[in-house]
């Protein structure tokens, strides 16, 4: 293992191995034996299409892929074929976060100098819809609390006298 920091680590549960990546090399650790497998490090080129110095990875066990990412791009590695799928790298920001990098104002050109991050602009205008969306649930919650309080009072103190009288009067009338 390198004495400096590891850039990426990923655990493949099916083979009980953890892979550590740094620069253009990788190491394989045997979780059952708790030792590094002999013959490592090996060049990252064994992982056909995965770039050097990746920043992270995660395994999609259900679909059989490992995703490596670096900067704003990611690579979809096929665990069965042991190679990156065609059409990669792709935009991590676009595919996983739904950002299509289109400017909010069509008259304003995108400010992409390669070092910019995603900027979210918030609309601070108050609207009636937002107020209603807050007030209605609050009123309903208050009504529910009053109803629960009334039921608890009836159970604790019994039915009020005027309601009993009304009920008896109606029975006598019928």
**C-alpha to C-alpha distance for 143 and 1, rounded to whole angstroms:** 64
Residue 113 pLDDT more than 80?
Answer: no
Q: Indicate the range of 20-24, 125-129, 164-168 predicted with least confidence.
A: 164-168
Please provide residue 147's backbone torsions phi and psi, each rounded to the nearest 5 degrees. Answer: -60, -45
pTM: 0.52
The H-or-E segment that residue 163 falls in is helix 161-173
Rounded mean pLDDT, 68-94: 86
- Determine how many CB atoms are found less than 10 A away from the CB of residue 110: 9
């Amino acid at each position: 293992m390198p004495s400096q920091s590891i850039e990426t680590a990923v655990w493949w549960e099916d083979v009980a191995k953890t892979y550590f990546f740094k620069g253009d090399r990788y190491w394989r650790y045997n979780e059952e034996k708790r030792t590094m497998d002999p013959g490592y490090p090996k060049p990252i080129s064994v992982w056909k299409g995965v770039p050097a110095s990746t920043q992270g990875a995660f395994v999609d066990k259900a679909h059989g892929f490992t995703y490596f990412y670096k900067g704003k791009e990611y690579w979809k590695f096929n665990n069965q074929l042991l190679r990156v799928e065609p059409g990669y790298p792709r935009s991590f920001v676009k595919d996983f976060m739904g950002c299509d990098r289109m400017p909010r104002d069509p008259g304003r050109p995108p400010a992409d100098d390669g070092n910019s991050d995603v900027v979210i602009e918030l609309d601070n205008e108050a609207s009636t819809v937002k107020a209603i969306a807050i007030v209605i649930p609050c009123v309903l919650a208050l009504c529910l609390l009053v109803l629960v309080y009334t039921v608890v009072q009836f159970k604790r103190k019994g039915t009020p006298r005027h309601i009993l009288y009304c009920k008896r009067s109606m029975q006598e009338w019928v």
